[in-house]
C-alpha cells in the first residue's frame, strides 16, 4: 500500500511464519560526530552533536527476499551513506545515533572492531550483504588480476568470520560465479587485469564477487550510471536474473527513474536524508503524492515525451512521443 512513510517493523518472525526479510531498517539516523578520530566504534566512545539535525534519517526500509527496492533521490540526499551504514561501514566523521538495522535477521553493529577494512575490500562485507558500486574500476586494485581479487575476497570473508586464507577451491567458486554473470571464458577472465576490461565487464565482475559470497542481500549503488545504454540493459538483466535464480533481495540505489521502472517492485524516494515517500512502484508512478516525487516524475516523463500525471489521473501519451516511450516491458 502506498501510504507514505510507513514503519515496516513487527515482531521477529519465527520459523513457522514467512521468511525473514533480507533487510529491515527502522528509525535509522546518521549524524556528524563531534570527534572524528573515535567514530569507528559506533555509538560508544564519542559524542555526536545531538543538537544538529541528522544527516540521514529517520529512515525506514524493508527489502524481502526476491524483491527489488529502488532507493531514488538526488545526489547528496544520503542514499550512499544509508547504504554504507547497512554494511556497518561509515566514513570518518559520521555515526549512527539511532535506529536498528537487521540484515537477514542479524543486527548490524557499528564499525568493524578490527578497524576499517582495506580500501580494496571496501566493496564487500560478506556478512549477509554485498555491495556493488557505481564506478567499478575504482574498487579494483590495478596491479592484481581478477583472480587475485576473488582469492582476496574469499579469504577475507569466510562463512565463520575467520580470516584464515582462501579456500582451496576458490577458483572453482570464482569460475562458477563468472559463468553465472555471463562470461564465456571464465578462466581467461581470472587472468585479466582490471584495465583490460570495460566498465560494463567490471560491473559484472563486481556482481560475480558478490555472488561468490552467497549472501541474501545485494546493495547496488548506482550500478549503471556510467555505462552506456546497451551495457546498462545487460547489467540490469543480470541483476534480474540473479534475483530470480537466487531469490536475492536487492536494494538498488539510482537517480534514474527508468531503472526503477525496469527493476523495482517497491520504490523509496529520498530527499535531504529522509524518505519522503515509498510504496509499490506502479502506484508511485501512477499517483505520486509528495511534491518532490511528482517533480521527479515530471522530469522523467518529459525525457520520454510524455505528459506528467495530473494528480491521480492516468498518464497521457504526448502525441509526438517516440516509440521508446511506449513503456515496453
Partner 1 sequence: MHPDAVSTISAESSASSFSSVPSFSCVAGTPGNDAPPLLELCGVTRSYRTGGWFAPRQQRQVLRGVDLTVREGGCTGVVGPSGAGKSTLCRIALGLEQPDGGMVRFMGRDVRHGLGKDRRHIQVVFQNSVNAVNPRLTVERIIGEPLENFTTLNRRQRRSRAGELLEQVHLSPSLLDRLPHRLSGGQLQRVCIARALAPRPRLILLDEALSSLDMLVQARVLDLLTELRRATGVAYLFVTHDVRLVPLFCDEAAVLTEGRVAPVDMHAPGHPCARQQAAHQATPHQEAFNALRAAILPAMPVGTPG
Binding interface with partner 1 (CB under 8 A): 73-76, 198-200, 225-233, 236, 255-262, 264, 281-283, 285-287, 291-292, 294-296, 298-308, 313-315, 318, 320, 322-329
Q: Spell out the residues 6+ positions from residue 230 whose beta carbon is closer than 8 angstroms to its own.
A: none
Between the alpha carbon of residue 288 and those of residues 9, 27, 276, 278, 326, the distances in Å are: 24, 23, 11, 10, 20
The position carrying cell 549503488 is: 221
Tell me how far, at minimum, the Cβ of 278 lies from partner 1, in Å: 15
Positions of E strands within the chain: 23-32, 56-63, 68-72, 94-103, 106-107, 129-132, 217-221, 249-254, 266-271, 274-280
Of 149 and 300, CB closest to partner 1: 300
Tell me how far, at minimum, the Cβ of 123 lies from partner 1, in Å: 18
Tell me how far, at minimum, the Cβ of 105 lies from partner 1, in Å: 29
Tell me how far, at minimum, the Cβ of 225 lies from partner 1, in Å: 6
Of 1 and 18, CB closest to partner 1: 1
Of 179 and 292, CB closest to partner 1: 292
Of 75 and 114, CB closest to partner 1: 75
Count of H helices and E strands in the chain? 9, 10
Of 27 and 308, CB closest to partner 1: 308
Burial class of residue 145, CB neighbours in 10 A (0-12, 13-18, 19+) = middle
Tell me how far, at minimum, the Cβ of 255 lies from partner 1, in Å: 4
Amino acid at each position: 500500500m502506498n501510504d507514505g512513510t510507513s514503519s515496516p517493523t513487527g515482531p521477529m518472525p519465527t520459523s513457522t511464519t514467512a521468511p525473514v526479510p533480507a533487510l529491515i531498517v527502522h528509525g535509522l539516523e546518521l549524524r556528524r560526530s563531534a570527534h572524528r578520530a573515535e567514530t569507528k566504534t559506533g555509538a560508544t566512545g564519542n559524542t555526536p552533536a545531538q543538537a544538529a539535525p541528522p544527516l540521514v534519517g529517520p529512515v525506514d526500509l524493508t527489502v524481502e527476499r526476491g524483491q527489488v527496492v529502488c532507493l531514488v533521490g538526488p545526489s547528496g540526499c544520503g542514499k550512499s551513506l544509508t547504504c554504507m551504514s547497512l554494511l556497518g561501514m561509515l566514513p570518518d566523521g559520521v555515526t549512527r545515533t539511532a535506529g536498528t538495522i537487521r540484515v537477514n535477521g542479524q543486527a548490524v553493529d557499528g564499525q568493524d572492531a578490527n578497524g576499517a577494512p582495506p580500501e580494496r575490500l571496501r566493496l564487500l562485507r560478506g556478512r549477509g550483504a554485498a555491495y556493488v558500486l557505481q564506478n567499478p574500476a575504482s574498487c579494483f586494485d590495478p596491479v592484481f588480476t581478477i583472480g587475485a581479487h576473488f582469492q582476496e575476497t574469499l579469504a577475507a570473508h569466510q562463512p565463520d568470520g575467520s580470516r584464515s586464507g582462501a579456500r582451496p577451491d576458490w577458483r572453482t567458486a570464482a569460475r562458477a560465479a563468472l559463468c553465472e554473470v555471463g562470461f564465456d571464458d571464465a578462466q581467461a577472465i581470472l587472468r585479466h587485469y582490471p584495465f583490460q576490461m570495460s566498465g560494463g565487464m567490471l560491473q559484472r565482475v563486481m556482481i560475480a564477487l558478490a555472488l561468490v559470497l552467497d549472501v541474501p542481500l545485494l546493495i547496488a549503488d548506482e550500478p549503471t550510471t556510467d555505462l552506456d545504454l546497451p551495457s546498462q540493459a545487460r547489467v540490469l538483466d543480470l541483476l534480474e536474473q540473479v534475483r530470480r535464480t537466487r531469490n536475492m533481495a536487492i536494494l538498488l540505489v539510482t537517480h534514474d527513474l527508468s531503472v526503477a521502472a525496469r527493476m523495482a517492485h517497491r520504490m523509496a524516494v529520498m530527499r535531504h536524508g529522509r524518505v519522503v515517500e515509498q510504496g509499490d512502484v506502479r502506484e508511485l508512478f501512477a499517483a505520486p503524492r509528495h511534491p518532490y516525487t511528482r517533480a521527479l516524475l515530471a522530469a522523467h516523463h518529459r525525457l520520454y515525451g510524455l505528459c506528467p500525471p495530473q494528480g491521480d489521473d492516468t498518464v497521457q501519451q504526448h502525441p509526438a512521443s517516440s516509440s521508446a516511450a511506449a513503456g515496453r516491458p
